[in-house]
Structure 1
Amino acid sequence: MSADDVKLVLEALVVLGCIVMGTRAGGVGVGLWGGLGTGILVFVFGEAPGEPPAAAMAIILAVVTAAAMMQAAGGIDWMVAMAARVIEKRPHQITLIAPLTAFVFSIGAGTSNIIYPLLPVIYDVSYRNHIRPSRPLTVTVVQSGMALAASPVSAAMAAMLTLTDVAPYDLGLTEILAITLPACVVGIVVTALVVNRMWPDLDDDPEVQAKIASGELAAPGAAVTVAPVPAAAGGDMGGDVAGPASGSAGAGAGTGADTPPASTALTYTAAGRNSALAFFAGVVAIVILGLFPDLRPAFEVEGEGTVSIDMTTTIVMVMFAVGVAILFLGRPKVSEVPDQSVFKAGMISAIALFGIAWLTATFISAHEEQIIDTIGGWVTDWKVLFALAVFLVAALTTSQSTATRTIVPIGLAAGLSPGLVTGMWAGALSGVYTLPANGTQIAAANFDHSGTTKLGSKLLDHSFFVPMLIMTVVTVAVGAAIGSLVA
């Protein structure tokens, strides 16, 4: 083994060690350990610092600010109320309707936090209609792991754009969405159809029927009223999996015995509705500007001719404009914006992303040729290894943005086409639900008073594991097929 190979191995151990320690610390600890690792590579191994992820940071900060303004004005309350109405209209198709509805709102808002208030609604509707609650609950939770790969305003997308929307890849927002959106929808639909046939029906489950017979659980239709659930305080705006739900009707809340909640009266204000619509208008504007570059201002650049402004600049400008619009339409208290769960989670995401992205950029830029020669051969012969790597990092860090910044640059440097990378990346992000340690999983299990949604006791025996595997495999396969055609 040459001296360069030894150095590569040692630096790789530093990178992996910092990721592991950051994961153990959690939150901003991921970013702090990433920064420390960068310092070790620079000061100890003498590597030149990589390019800090300034573009991704700018997108996250702008989006998080606008989204937190919307939340402060009551916009998320309106979104949840609308999603609940859709779910309640077709109760017998809830295993399919609930995750698809949550998917639409997750990609529109750029955060998976929206599913928290929906969980008691999903449980209520399914239980009252004699449908096993674990079916819609597990699919709804698992889809949020990859939904952010189809969101124009998520942290994971911000990280992805800064990697692919540059020469020589030139895979922009609209091309990414053309791959991830259909792949994710197919993954959700197939998973819902399979899960709808898993486990005993509610009326045939001996455990549930025993609880009903003993009076521990009310029969379907006999309900009590509980308060709607606020968005979780934890989580990552548009990126990482959220922490446990909080509030007066937090995970496990109820009244009396394990009785199902009544259909919660989710309310909203006109200001909240207007704020949410303004935010969605911004999302639509971003997609249109990405689809039609000629609509963006163009300037003369020496040596390059007339060049339109890039999508990073476009997204930042549009989101700040949306924030100002919400100021007038929603009249939120600006002083309350930093206290919003979306804002706090977004800041944590930004710090974590900055440290890890800087660390991996430093490592990859120092050893790009070796990575292409070694790892490149592996992923070229066994392309599924790339998806597996994204899946494992997502599982260990429970962070979509960390998995993106850690593995995607390696896949691109190894020679995989950006379209193929994007397709497999979207499905592999579901790996965040490999272990039953995420807030959404815990909340779903606690809201399921029937006990059909289980966290298990052996790490991989929880109710979310099989749906997660199905959704991952299907979405990766479909995404890879579409990605191979797109780019």
Structure 2
Amino acid sequence: MEVARFVLELIVVLACIAMGTRASGVSLGFWGGVGVAILVFGFREPAGSPPVDALLIVLAVVVTSSAMQAAGGIDWMVTVAAKVIAKRPKQITLVAPLVAFLFSVGAGTSNILYPLLPVITDLSYRNGIRPSRPLSLSVVSTGVALACSPVSAAMAVMLVLTEKPPYNFDLVDILKITIPAAIIGIVAASFVVARLGKNMQDDPEIQAKLAAGGIPEASDTPQATAAGRNAAIIFLLGVVAIVVFGLFKVLRPADAAGAPMGMTQIISIIMLVVGALVVLVAKPKVSEIPASSVFKAGMTSAIALFGLAWLTSTFLGAHDKAIANSVGGLVQAAPWIFALGVFLVCVLTTSQSTATQTIVPIGLAAGLAPGLVAGMWSGAFAGIYVLPTNGSQIAAANFDYTGSTKLGSKLIDHSFFIPAVVLALFTCLAGALLGVVLG
């Protein structure tokens, strides 16, 4: 009877995730709510805890990032990134993904990549490098970057799960594993990606297209302004402050129990202060903040996180012992199964925060060490680019006037599939090793 109940509820959870993924966007949150309703009213399970702490961080970060964007901060960061990439054009397949990764870590969003795409295309073409190589790896690198950013939505969820007892695995504990693992993964993947596809001079399709259309003019990078520079610097200083508070617990105020305040609250407080400073110093039009692309994407992610995280919390809370007993031995014997779980949920939902909320609690309940979980978790984030459905993939293909970056027609015959799988593999391996050594 209990087994049948478990299976039926699992079917409900998977069906709701599938329906939400099919409709995408805020529908993920709606269908998460439908699943909670079925489990609570239909199966009479106690409702799980909504992800309030994670949502508060996401909201604070999103509105502050949006204020920075409205002030021109992301445009300024793009001009800096473009200059860095332009200094070593021959190594663009390595440099561009690393720059995209680092700036996504700092900004807490992969949206910074969009205005960099035409820059990468132009520099690649003018240096005789197939644009699909740096474009594809740059796109995929921004996925793993969100496991390394103190201000990403996925990190907000991860902190809520790990920083409290019995794990006591704080922000710095996570970052010291995920950041080097991701960099190792990107560097290793660049050697593989640099050999994908024919060289431009040997590709008849590219040569015919270029001969017919001529050499296009170089795309302009966004215009940098003093206000944008100030907004970006204020935001990045806020990120630095978060890391400092994570490193030195003695700097944190005490909570009601007399212990150092948790990082979930610290991040929310600092981000709101940073947002106020951006408005005061850079003076963006406040009315434009909710209309920014970062705000829209962030709010969509928050709604999806709200519904799906509540659904998984309800299901896992009702069957925590059964899951720990049945899955625990399997995951402990083969920890790669955990990484595969995160990877597959990323593939299906294209949401790192959803994958974190869904699979990480299972890995922790199964007895995996938090360091090992964090290491494999970071690499599995590349899974969101296994299918050619993400906005940045479509944008990269559209910006590549040579036609070398393809979306394919058979789901896995696109330019991002191999880079995503290779980056996930290398980062997971490096992360697992670092997690064992440093965790």
Q: Give yes or no for TM over 0.5.
A: yes
Which residue number in structure 2 is paired with residue 90 of structure 1? 88
String of CA shifts for 1:427-471, please: whole Å, max 9, x gaps. Answer: 011100111111111111111111111111111111111111110
Counterpart of 2:293, as a letter, is S
Q: Do the aligned residues in 1 keep the contact of 2:116 with 2:221 (CA within 8 Å)?
A: no
Counterpart of 1:372, as a letter, is A
1:408 equivalent to 2:360? Answer: yes
Counterpart of 2:213, as a letter, is L
String of CA shifts for 1:389-422, please: whole Å, max 9, x gaps. Answer: 1111100111111111111111111111111111
Q: Do the aligned residues in 1 keep the contact of 2:115 with 2:222 (CA within 8 Å)?
A: no
Which residue number in structure 1 is paired with residue 246 of structure 2? 290
Q: CA deviation at 1:223?
A: 3.3
Counterpart of 1:91, as a letter, is P
1:471 to 415, 420, 423: 423
Distance (Å, rounded) in 2 between the aligned partners of 1:83 and 1:30: 33
Distance (Å, rounded) in 1 between the aligned partners of 2:21 and 2:103: 28
What SS is found at the alignment partner of 1:171? Answer: coil
Q: Do the aligned residues in 2 keep the contact of 1:125 with 1:263 (CA within 8 Å)?
A: no
Which residue number in structure 1 is paired with residue 370 of structure 2? 418
Q: CA deviation at 1:300?
A: 5.5
TM-score by length of 1: 0.89
Which residue number in structure 2 is paired with residue 364 of structure 1? 316
The within-5 A match list for 1:1-150 is 3-150=1-148
Distance 1:390 1:277, change over 3 A: same
String of CA shifts for 1:184-210, please: whole Å, max 9, x gaps. Answer: 001111111211122221112222223
Is there any run of 5+ residues in structure 1 with no aligned partner, and where?
A: 225-261
What SS is found at the alignment partner of 1:406? Answer: helix
1:308 equivalent to 2:308? Answer: no
Q: CA deviation at 1:128?
A: 0.7
1:223 equivalent to 2:219? Answer: no
Distance (Å, rounded) in 2 between the aligned partners of 1:300 and 1:430: 39
Q: CA deviation at 1:131?
A: 0.8
String of CA shifts for 1:137-161, please: whole Å, max 9, x gaps. Answer: 0110111111100000000111111
Distance (Å, rounded) in 1 between the aligned partners of 2:13 and 2:366: 18
Which residue number in structure 2 is paired with residue 352 of structure 1? 304
RMSD after superposition:
1.1
Aligned residue pairs total 439
1:428 to 377, 380, 384: 380
Counterpart of 2:277, as a letter, is A
Distance (Å, rounded) in 2 between the aligned partners of 1:438 and 1:59: 24
What SS is found at the alignment partner of 1:457? Answer: coil
2:209 to 184, 208, 211: 211
1:266 equivalent to 2:208? Answer: no
String of CA shifts for 1:363-406, please: whole Å, max 9, x gaps. Answer: 11111110011011211111111111111110011111111111
Which residue number in structure 2 is paired with residue 393 of structure 1? 345
Q: Do the aligned residues in 1 keep the contact of 2:78 with 2:221 (CA within 8 Å)?
A: no
Q: Do the aligned residues in 2 keep the contact of 1:98 with 1:140 (CA within 8 Å)?
A: yes
Distance (Å, rounded) in 1 between the aligned partners of 2:377 and 2:213: 42
Which residue number in structure 1 is paired with residue 234 of structure 2? 278
Distance (Å, rounded) in 2 between the aligned partners of 1:40 and 1:388: 28
What SS is found at the alignment partner of 1:307? Answer: coil
Distance (Å, rounded) in 1 between the aligned partners of 2:221 and 2:400: 19
String of CA shifts for 1:266-322, please: whole Å, max 9, x gaps. Answer: 311101100000000000000000011100112462xxxx31111111001100110
What SS is found at the alignment partner of 2:146? Answer: helix
Distance (Å, rounded) in 2 between the aligned partners of 1:4 and 1:358: 22
Distance (Å, rounded) in 2 between the aligned partners of 1:484 and 1:336: 46
Higher helix share: 2
Counterpart of 1:96, as a letter, is L
What SS is found at the alignment partner of 1:149? Answer: coil
Q: Do the aligned residues in 1 keep the contact of 2:115 with 2:221 (CA within 8 Å)?
A: no
Distance (Å, rounded) in 1 between the aligned partners of 2:120 and 2:221: 13
Distance 1:265 1:483, change over 3 A: closer
Distance (Å, rounded) in 2 between the aligned partners of 1:65 and 1:79: 18
